[in-house]
Amino acid sequence: MSPRDCDPTEADALRSLRELAERAARAGGAVARQNFGKPTAVRLKADRSEVSEVDEAAQRAVIDCIHAQRPDDRFVAEETLVEPEGQRWPPPENDRVCWVIDPLDGTRNYIRGIPLYACSVGAMLHGFPIAGAIYMPPHDRLFSASRAEGFFEDGRPIARRSRSPAPGRSPKPIVAIPSSFSGDAEKALLNAWLGRVVVRNLGVASLHLALVAAGPFDAALLSDCRLWDIAAGWVLIDTIGGVMTTLTGQPMFPLDVAKYRGEALPGMAARDAEMLARLKVD
């Protein structure tokens, strides 16, 4: 969907969702930034990943920001949804706006004092992400988009950039890779790329996608990612003309949020279809 495909009412609604995603991501990111480097309680979740009390506090800040303005919306979040006293969170529905939240992407970095982490907030409707924001608190850098408006950096609209390599730059694509691999297909891709690409890993999947959209990265490989890692990033990449697919080349969305139970969503994202085809291995 491009801006010209939207009537003014729809464009206004999507702008409102993008702006709310920006405010919510900043709210969650502010909690993380204020507590960075301070002692924080950490525990292991059922999947053996780490979660801190800052993750949970940042998620509360994100949800409070959204719920105050849109009390009838639904939520899917990485951390347990703590229900307000006397209230139950209704389950996600595909025909209602559903906010998909990773309040502190990069928890392992965060609790070890590595200043690479993000807050990711995406809005989905009818199985597709339609607006989102990814905020990088250490650098106060905000990436956002809606499917009616396009891509924004720090609240400023950014036209789609030329992808021609700058003079003196390496012709090899720069590809973000995951910290761990959940399947053999991802490992096979990485082995096939050795010598053909330059790899980078920030330990923050949402930032990998934001930087594909913004331009520094050419592509990203996704392995052990969940919906909250990729929903906002998908909007950013879609609005700059990029592509995100499963490892078998199928579209990543639509996805039934009512049935989603935290399954891994491995895939690839690239700045355009040509780059994606260049990286595929038969």
CA distances from 189 to 181, 234, 270 (A): 11, 21, 14
User: Tokens standing for 64?
Assistant: 């409070």
Q: Do domains 3-158 and 174-279 have the same CATH topology?
A: no
Residue 115 makes CB contacts below 8 A (sequence gap 6+) with: 36, 109, 138
In this prediction, residue 103 carries a pLDDT of: 97
Report the predicted TM-score, pTM, of the whole model to 2 decimal places.
Answer: 0.92
Cα separation, 207 vs 210, whole angstroms:
5
- Tens of pLDDT along 134-177? 999 999 999 999 999 999 999 999 876 655 555 555 679 999 99
Q: What is the DSSP string of 201-230?
A: --S-HHHHHHHHHHSS-SEEEESS--HHHH
The class level of CATH for 3-158 reads: alpha beta
Q: Which CATH architecture has domain 174-279?
A: 3-Layer(aba) Sandwich (3.40)
Taking only the tens place, the pLDDT of each residue in 227-255 is: 999 999 999 999 999 999 999 999 999 99
pLDDT of residue 174: 95
Boundaries of every domain in the chain = 3-158, 174-279
Cβ contacts of residue 191 below 8 Å, gap of 6+? none
